[in-house]
Amino acid sequence: MNPILKVRDVCLSYHTLSGETPALSHISFDLMPGEFLSIVGPSGCGKSTLLNLIAGLLAPECGSITLDGKPVSAGSTAVGYMLQKDHLLEWRSIYKNILLGLEIRKELTPEKLSHAEELLRIYGLDRFRDARPSQLSGGMRQRAALIRTLVLKPELLLLDEPFSALDYQTRLNVSDDIGQIIKKEKKTAILVTHDLAEAVSLADRILVLTSRPATIGQTVNVSFSDPGLSPLARRNAPEFKTYFNLIWKELNPDE
């Protein structure tokens, strides 16, 4: 199997009137199809910058990023982005929100509409199809936001702190829910989070970035003796604490 994503020796600095801010330095990694990668690191180290580069929203100063062998580019449906805010439009029903991307792309074909219907049904949003976003819980809204992205059949999902606006209890349930949908849909995903427990509960592999300019400090392959555990169940598995402590030490070497 070949990697779906290749990040090679990527670096980037921001240039502003007050000077240069080096954000990323010599970042290289591959991502295999179906893999779930989490990226953790100190606040402000360059995690979101890396996702923006992979989405093609920024161009690297050096190095290259290819998805399926082609350089990434902004606006491509190959990459789906999920953010902290769900950006659902209040004046549209949930169904109309889910079709938004297809509508903008003028791709409301019978085949794609039937895929949207199927996702609505499988993931229990059918009964909310005529509801407005404000009538849904935070968790259901994030589920709707994910389905809006999945309808476009992205090859790679980028998740930038998608649960951080939720309270702790909801966050545990929503990350479990979203993680299970991504696995079921066999999607390749990259999650940026400052929450180490969230990273360990969801990922097959974790990249621990150093402080700015970020380099890859450590790569941790995450495997549990029971490979079928849900993200929530992983939190109670014996291996969980070992991975958590390993990454904690990498991020807090002086403690």
Distance CA 94, CA 88 (A): 8
Q: Which is nearer to ligand ADP, 52 or 97 (CB)?
A: 52
Q: Which of these ranges, 16-24, 25-33, 63-71, 80-88, lies near ligand ADP under the rule CB under 6 A?
A: 16-24
Total length of the chain: 255
Q: Does 14 bind ligand ADP (CB under 6 A)?
A: yes
Identify the residue among 49, 97, 175, 188 touching ligand ADP (CB under 6 A).
49
Q: Which residues in the 184-243 window bind ligand ADP by CB under 6 A?
A: 212
The CB density around residue 156, as the number of other CB atoms within 10 Å, is: 22
- Select the residue interacting with ligand ADP from 3, 6, 21, 215 (CB under 6 A): 21
CB 68 within 8 A of CB 30: no
39 binding ligand ADP? (CB under 6 A): no
In the complex, minimum distance from the CB of residue 44 to ligand ADP, in angstroms, rounded to a whole number:
4
Q: Rounded to the nearest 5°, which phi and psi values hold at 2?
A: -95, 150
The least distance separating ligand ADP from the CB of residue 78, rounded to whole angstroms, comes to: 22
Q: Is the dihedral of CA 241, 246, 247, 248 positive or negative?
A: positive
Site string for ligand ADP, 119-148 (x = CB under 6 A): ------------------------------
Other beta carbons within 10 Å of 255:
6
* CA nearest to 119, candidates 159, 83, 149: 149
Using CB under 6 A, pick the residue from 7, 10, 31, 45 that binds ligand ADP.
45
Confirm or reject binding of residue 18 to ligand ADP (CB under 6 A): no
Strand-by-strand arrangement of the 156-160 sheet: 79-82, 156-160, 188-192, 36-40, 205-209, 216-221
23 counts as binding ligand ADP under rule CB under 6 A: yes
Q: Is 46 in the site for ligand ADP (CB under 6 A)?
A: yes
Q: Is residue 48 a contact residue for ligand ADP (CB under 6 A)?
A: yes
